[in-house]
């Protein structure tokens, strides 16, 4: 029977080729959608590396006031820290968690070799570890000892950076340079991860530079950092107003914008999910289209082949035998189409085009294969049941 | 090959014709009616047909065009159901068989030669002839091919096994249809004008072939024909007119 199926498919290669091409293309669409899905899911499952609950972000606007900004800022941080309900405060660059701002560079070298790709850079002070609950897995976070670092600036990297740059070697103690070798950085610690972009951000190399408010050499005079404040769980509007009022009174006229990191997280999520959902919708639409096409082709096939089906029934095929034959033909054609699609799909990991890990491509291939078989099975089921219901007498009438 | 053993004796041994075993009914039709209903017109294709075909008989059916011969044959071949009346096969009414059992009967017991051949255009001659055997799980692929080749040999088409139906003449297609009916070694052959498209010599050969099967292998045959000469060679001629049996 299997031989017979292949003979039939081969003898009808022209119409089956179209069907196969359609399956190949829809497999490819499914594969691309699957890569996106699997990749985002994979990222989503990675550790964030920090805690965003009970952290408020103060976006301070000094406006026209340029008088003694540094001193005012230092005083402000002291005042805020002293407020009951505040656990810790950190000043950081504008690329706070879930913000729309990023800072990246490819300047780091170790023995002349770069990390490969860009590294996200963050400015941090000694208290960031407390505010964001970063997970230090090796070495230590920044502290007062780093005040005496001199020209060799301390940095902290994430594990992704460490693995790419140093492989299995210990990262702590290593010295990085820039390409011209006129700057040096000393790795003092490693954090597990810092996926600050969003829940879907990839776990890419990241580095923290120490910038403390006291450090006038490193902080540009006019710069006002973002303040991240960890508050006691359950703190609400009362504390928020208290802090805003304090900012106004201490600085005499600066204003502040407050968001919780959780709010920012949701906003970022919405921002990312919207195009993803739109893309998913387009994908779904395409797939429905493909399904309808397949369904139509199969339906047409069966109405075209009524005489043949009737004849087979007249020669002794059972109804189940007929539907089995149709499903079998569909299975073979689908398999051939999928094989063609896989040949195309496998080029992605082989050529390494989008920098997505091979295992994600493999998973996407598996997912797309399963989906396409389910899809064709659904499309073939009803037509093949109709085929099974065709009576032998039909063979007498159709030509 | 050992050429001294003749596998198929073409001439009947006289004893066979003389056996007087009690006739057992292969097919029994009782009060068969077949009415075709279309939007505008109702056609009574068969009207109160009562007919018994005994095991081992060679019956021919004659009658003018449109009198219901093909309709009758398709009911006998379990391809269609009568509007009323009863069909019995092997002593059991057809309505008592399940769909699967009917498929089995069509496959194992009956060889049907369609008036308009009904070959599958996308299959080669050989694949077409193999078709009934395909639905028998007991027959291996190798045996299937051997039997198909043998059947094509009998109808003189062994040189055309790899052709497709569209590459054959009408008469050749008709012979393929006959070979397909033979390939399954059925007990009952229902042939609808099997020589209708053949020249007289070829027609004779097919007639001889059918008669040989009937005499030597005990195959029961019902054949529709327009040819008086052929009909006279068979044991019984049933004549139809306008849906009714007239003799
Ligand atoms: N599917 C159908 N629908 C309507 N009428 C039909 C159908 N099949 C057959 N008929 C009618 O039934 C009658 C008998 O047809 P049938 O094919 O049995 O004739 P026949 O004796 O085989 O004729 P011929 O010698 O030309 O083959 C005809 O009048 C025909 O028009
Ligand atoms: Mg007819």
The pairs formed by B105-109 with CB atoms below 8 angstroms and a separation of 24 or more are: B105/B78, B106/A313, B106/A314, B106/A315, B106/A316, B106/A392, B106/B77, B106/B78, B106/B79, B107/A315, B107/A316, B107/A317, B107/B132, B107/B135, B107/B136, B107/B184, B108/A316, B108/B136, B108/B184, B108/B186, B109/B186, B109/B187, B109/B188
Give how far A8 is from chain B: nearest CA, Å. Answer: 7
Full DSSP string of A205-240: -EEEEE--TT-TTTS-TT---EEEEEE-TT--HHHH
Would you call A244 helix, strand, or coil by DSSP?
helix
Question: Where residue B197 sits, what CATH number does that domain have?
Answer: 3.40.50.300
Band (pLDDT 50/70/90 cuts) for residue A218 is low
Gap between the Cα atoms of B104 and B102, Å rounded = 5
Q: Is the pLDDT reported for residue B18 higher than 70?
A: no
Give how far A16 is from chain B: nearest CA, Å. Answer: 12
Cβ distance A155 to A183 under 8 Å? Answer: no
- pLDDT value at residue B21: 54
Full DSSP string of A91-134: EE-S--TT-S---EE---EETTEE-SS-EEEEEE-TTHHHHHT-
The answer to whether residue A1 neighbours chain B at the CB level (below 8 Å) is yes
Give the mean model confidence (pLDDT) for residues A302-321: 90
Band (pLDDT 50/70/90 cuts) for residue B159 is very high
Ligand 2 centroid from CA B231, angstroms: 16
Cβ distance B46 to B81 under 8 Å? Answer: no
Q: Is the pLDDT reported for residue A221 higher than 70?
A: no
Chain B CB contacts of A318 below 8 Å: 99-100, 103, 135
Band (pLDDT 50/70/90 cuts) for residue A216 is low
Cβ-Cβ contacts under 8 Å for B179 (sequence gap 6 or more): B129, B148, B151, B152, B154, B155, B157
- pLDDT value at residue B222: 96
Q: Is the pLDDT reported for residue A214 higher than 50?
A: yes
Which segment, A103-112, A377-386, B142-151, is predicted with the most confidence on average? B142-151
Question: Minimal CA–CA distance to B216: which of B54, B5, B16?
Answer: B16
Would you call B95 helix, strand, or coil by DSSP?
helix
Q: Domain range spanning residue B98?
A: 3-245
Band (pLDDT 50/70/90 cuts) for residue A204 is very high
Question: Minimal CA–CA distance to A208: which of A126, A133, A281, A270?
Answer: A126
Give the mean model confidence (pLDDT) for residues A326-338: 91
Gap between the Cα atoms of B48 and B82, Å rounded = 11
Torsion of CA B226, B230, B235, B240, to 10 degrees: 10
The answer to whether residue B153 neighbours chain A at the CB level (below 8 Å) is no
Cβ-Cβ contacts under 8 Å for B229 (sequence gap 6 or more): none
Domain ranges of chain A: 2-46+268-398, 63-253
Cβ distance A368 to A302 under 8 Å? Answer: no
Cβ distance A198 to A98 under 8 Å? Answer: yes
- pLDDT value at residue B4: 42
Gap between the Cα atoms of B117 and B63, Å rounded = 20
Cβ-Cβ contacts under 8 Å for B48 (sequence gap 6 or more): B31, B32, B33, B85, B244
Chain centre to alpha carbon of residue A218: 33
The answer to whether residue A319 neighbours chain B at the CB level (below 8 Å) is yes
**Which protein residue's CA is at the shortest distance from atom 14 of ligand 1?**
B68
- Comparing alpha-carbon positions, the chain A residue that sits nearest to B70 is A396
Q: Is the pLDDT reported for residue A108 higher than 90?
A: yes
Average pLDDT of the residues of chain B: 88
The answer to whether residue B180 neighbours chain A at the CB level (below 8 Å) is yes
- Residue A90 to residues A56, A148, A164, Cα–Cα distance (Å): 11, 20, 29
Cβ-Cβ contacts under 8 Å for A257 (sequence gap 6 or more): A58, A59, A60, A61
- Residue A118 to residues A341, B148, B204, Cα–Cα distance (Å): 32, 71, 89
CA angle B94, B98, B100 (to 5 degrees): 115
Ligand 1 centroid from CA B127, angstroms: 30
Chain A CB contacts of B123 below 8 Å: 7-8, 11
Q: Is the pLDDT reported for residue B17 higher than 80?
A: no
Neighbours of A389 (CB within 10 A): 11
Torsion of CA A126, A132, A133, A136, to 10 degrees: -60
The pLDDT tens digits of the residues spanning A283-311 come to 888 888 878 888 888 888 888 888 899 99
**Token code pair at residue A207:** 């580095």
CB-CB under 8 Å, A395 with B70: no
Q: Is the pLDDT reported for residue A66 higher than 80?
A: no
CB-CB under 8 Å, B99 with A7: no
Chain B CB contacts of A311 below 8 Å: 118, 120
Q: How many CB pairs under 8 A join A and B?
A: 69
The pairs formed by A44-47 with CB atoms below 8 angstroms and a separation of 24 or more are: A44/A199, A44/A200, A46/A193, A46/A195, A46/A202, A46/A203, A47/A135, A47/A192, A47/A193, A47/A195, A47/A203
Full DSSP string of A315-374: TT--HHHHHHHHHHHHHHHHHHHHHHHHHHHTHHHHHT-S---HHHHHHHHHHHHHHHHH
Torsion of CA A21, B163, B144, B195, to 10 degrees: 130
Gap between the Cα atoms of A70 and A214, Å rounded = 9
Neighbours of A4 (CB within 10 A): 17
Band (pLDDT 50/70/90 cuts) for residue A215 is low
Residue in A3, A308, A314 closest to B79 by CB: A314
Of A143-157, B3-17, B32-46, B188-202, which range is least confident?
A: B3-17
Q: Given 3-state DSSP classes, what are the helix, strand and coil percentages for chain A, each rounded to the nearest 5?
A: 55, 15, 30
Give the mean model confidence (pLDDT) for residues B124-129: 96
Gap between the Cα atoms of B172 and B178, Å rounded = 10
The answer to whether residue B36 neighbours chain A at the CB level (below 8 Å) is no
């Amino acid at each position: 029977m299997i031989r017979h199926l292949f003979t039939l498919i081969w003898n009808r290669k022209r119409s089956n080729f179209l069907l196969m091409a359609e399956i190949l293309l829809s497999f490819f669409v499914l594969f691309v959608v699957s890569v996106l899905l699997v990749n985002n899911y994979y990222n989503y499952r990675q550790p964030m590396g920090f805690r965003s609950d009970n952290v408020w972000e103060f976006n301070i606007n000094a406006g026209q006031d340029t008088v003694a900004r540094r001193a005012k800022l230092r005083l402000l941080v002291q005042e805020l820290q002293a407020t009951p309900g505040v656990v810790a405060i950190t000043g950081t660059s504008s690329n706070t968690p879930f913000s729309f701002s990023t800072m990246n560079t490819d300047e780091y070298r170790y023995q002349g070799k770069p990390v490969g790709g860009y590294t996200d850079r963050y400015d941090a002070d000694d208290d960031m570890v407390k505010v964001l609950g970063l997970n230090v897995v090796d070495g230590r976070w920044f502290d007062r000892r780093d005040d005496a670092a001199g020209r060799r600036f301390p940095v902290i990297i994430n594990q992704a950076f460490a693995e790419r740059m140093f492989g299995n070697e210990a990262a702590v103690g290593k010295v990085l340079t820039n390409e011209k070798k006129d700057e040096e950085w000393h790795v003092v610690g490693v954090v597990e991860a810092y996926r600050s972009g969003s829940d879907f951000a990839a776990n890419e190399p990241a580095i923290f530079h120490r910038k403390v408010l006291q450090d006038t050499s490193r902080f540009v005079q006019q710069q006002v950092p973002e303040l991240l404040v960890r508050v006691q769980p359950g703190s609400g509007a009362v504390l928020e107003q208290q802090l805003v009022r304090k900012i106004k009174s201490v600085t005499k006229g600066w204003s502040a914008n407050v968001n919780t990191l959780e709010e920012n997280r949701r906003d970022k999520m919405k921002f990312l999910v919207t195009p993803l959902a739109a893309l998913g919708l387009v994908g779904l639409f395409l797939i429905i289209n493909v399904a309808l096409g397949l369904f139509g082709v199969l339906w047409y096939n069966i109405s075209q082949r009524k005489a043949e089906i009737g004849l087979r029934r007249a020669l002794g095929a059972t109804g189940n035998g007929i539907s089995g034959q149709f499903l079998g033909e569909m299975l073979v054609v689908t398999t051939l189409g999928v094989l063609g699609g896989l040949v195309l799909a496998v080029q992605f990991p082989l050529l390494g085009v989008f920098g997505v890990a091979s295992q994600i491509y493999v998973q996407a291939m598996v997912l797309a294969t399963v989906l396409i078989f389910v899809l064709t099975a659904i499309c073939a089921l009803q037509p093949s049941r109709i085929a099974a219901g065709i009576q032998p007498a039909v063979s007498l009438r159709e030509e | 090959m050992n050429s001294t053993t003749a596998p198929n004796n073409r001439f009947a041994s006289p004893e066979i014709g003389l056996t007087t075993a009690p006739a057992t009914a292969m097919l029994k039709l009782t009060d068969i009616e077949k009415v075709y209903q279309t939007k505008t017109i109702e056609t009574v294709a068969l009207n109160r047909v009562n007919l018994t075909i005994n095991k081992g008989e060679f019956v021919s059916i004659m009658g003018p065009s449109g009198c219901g011969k093909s309709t009758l044959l398709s009911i006998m071949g379990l391809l269609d159901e009568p509007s009323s009346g009863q069909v019995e096969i092997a002593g059991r009414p057809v309505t008592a068989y399940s769909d699967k059992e009917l498929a089995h009967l069509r496959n194992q017991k009956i060889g049907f030669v369609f008036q308009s051949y009904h070959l599958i255009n996308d299959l080669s001659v050989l694949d077409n002839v193999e078709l009934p055997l395909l639905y028998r799980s007991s027959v291996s692929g190798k045996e299937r091919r051997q039997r198909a080749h043998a059947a094509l040999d009998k109808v003189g088409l062994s040189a055309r096994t790899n052709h497709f139906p569209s590459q054959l003449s009408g008469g050749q297609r008709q012979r393929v249809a006959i070979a397909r009916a033979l390939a399954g070694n059925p007990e009952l052959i229902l042939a609808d004008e099997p020589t209708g498209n053949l020249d007289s010599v070829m027609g004779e050969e097919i007639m001889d072939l059918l008669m040989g099967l009937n005499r030597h292998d005990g195959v029961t045959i019902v054949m529709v024909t327009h040819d008086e000469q052929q009909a006279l060679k068979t044991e019984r001629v049933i004549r139809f007119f306008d849906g009714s049996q007239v003799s």
